[in-house]
Amino acid sequence: MQTQILERMESEVRTYSRSFPVVFTQARNARLTDETGREYIDFLAGAGTLNYGHNNPHIKQALVDYLASDGIVHGLDFWTAAKREYLETLEEVILKPRGLDYKVHLPGPTGTNAVEAAIRLARVAKGRHNIVTFTNGFHGVTMGALATTGNRKFREATGGIPTQGAAFMPYDGYMGDAVDTLDYFEKLLGDKSGGLDVPAAVIVETVQGEGGINVSGLDWLKRLESICRAHDILLIVDDIQAGCGRTGKFFSFEHAGVTPDIVTNSKSLSGFGLPFAHVLMRPELDKWKPGQYNGTFRGFNLAFVTAAAAMRKYWSDDTLERDVQRKGRVVEDRFQKIAAWLTENGFPASERGRGLMRGIDVASGDIADKITHKAFEKGLIIETSGQDGEVVKCLCPLTISDEDLIEGLDILEASAKEALA
């Protein structure tokens, strides 16, 4: 493969091309093809951006038809027919059936843009600066979002510039299963000498993706919501990776029956891998002045088209939801078996996750790397997460065929056994 120009000109900041050093040329649903013609099963799916698979034919056709009609591609925040159809579809297919009433802010097209907008909006709405976030959380790497991101690797990349405006609390399970970490948060809120400035908002992932597939308990989420209500604190759910069906519901917080004040979505929101993000907010929180938060690429019309097509295709009934939950049980069962084998052979491991957001914690980044490198040799693309990369993480397309899912799991199991034999 010809990689010299890629290695010579691309910045050292690159990551995935180091783990998967081939040149990819084609993709369809859960399979990628490199320029030699070799196929790989994809358990990465754009780090959760391709929930409906690569080049989903239904969504692609909607995009092709729109481009062929000379539809608006870039329009700042003009009103366009594509935007109108997106908002109509979002309201009718997603929000109303769930009893949700939100206004929509279209920031820049990335997840960190959405988080920046959400935390700034919370500060404007409440007139307070502090944002409470949680250990192992990941919310982006722009300065505002980075202040709420826990991983030292990302925080050190500021070059010593301090991040400001956020206070970290222990996530569910951080202190062990016997400790309810919200006791600490609630005690600080009630203690005028506790050192915690009353926050404008709390931002939380219901399943921490980058943090290692840490799953918050449903009762824990309900209690977090009640604490926020009792203290006039806004609840922001960062659903950028866990949303759009990844956990088996369109919104990951649906499992707990909570209603966030603000929600951020990106990654699979466009349905096709196009950059797209939105912030959902309770109508009374829309305190923005015109142009107070903007961006040249806010409201990407091509993504409006593909997002609306994805919602109509996959969320007009519960077929995909039930299928994700079924496939999630398949992955859960196999991951538990792999973890049991590892543990029996001297490598303590455990499975965790929700829906098709699953991981095996092998307690060592080196061990996780050995497994994923061996898997790549065998034709499976899968990554790691966690503070030291110790969790082997499955984010396969929600639309993956049963055959590809089982083959990918077979490869992973064989890779674990060969890498650690």
226's tokens: 């009640």
Distance separating alpha carbons of residues 339 and 350, to the nearest angstrom:
5
55's tokens: 């080049």
Beta strands in 209-281 (DSSP E): 214-215, 234-238, 262-265, 278-281
Distance separating alpha carbons of residues 125 and 188, to the nearest angstrom:
23
At 299, is the secondary structure helix, strand, or coil?
coil
Other beta carbons within 10 angstroms of residue 64's beta carbon come to: 11
Distance separating alpha carbons of residues 74 and 402, to the nearest angstrom:
38
Distant-in-sequence, close-in-space partners of 51: CB < 8 Å, separation ≥ 6: 45, 244, 245, 246, 267, 268, 271, 397, 398, 399
pLDDT tens string 170-197:
999 999 999 999 999 999 999 999 999 9
Distance separating alpha carbons of residues 229 and 4, to the nearest angstrom:
56
59's tokens: 């969504």
Work out whether the CA dihedral 415, 26, 319, 47 comes out positive or negative: positive
pLDDT tens string 125-156:
999 999 999 999 999 999 999 999 998 889 98
Residue 61: φ, ψ to 5°: -65, -40
pLDDT tens string 206-264:
999 999 999 999 999 999 999 999 999 999 999 999 999 999 999 999 999 999 999 99
Q: Is the pLDDT of residue 1 over 90?
A: no
286's tokens: 């829309």
Burial (CB count within 10 angstroms: exposed 0-12, middle 13-18, buried 19+), residue 164: exposed
Distant-in-sequence, close-in-space partners of 115: CB < 8 Å, separation ≥ 6: 139, 140, 142, 144, 145, 148, 203, 238, 240, 264
Q: Is the pLDDT of residue 297 over 90?
A: yes
pLDDT tens string 36-58:
999 999 999 999 999 999 999 99
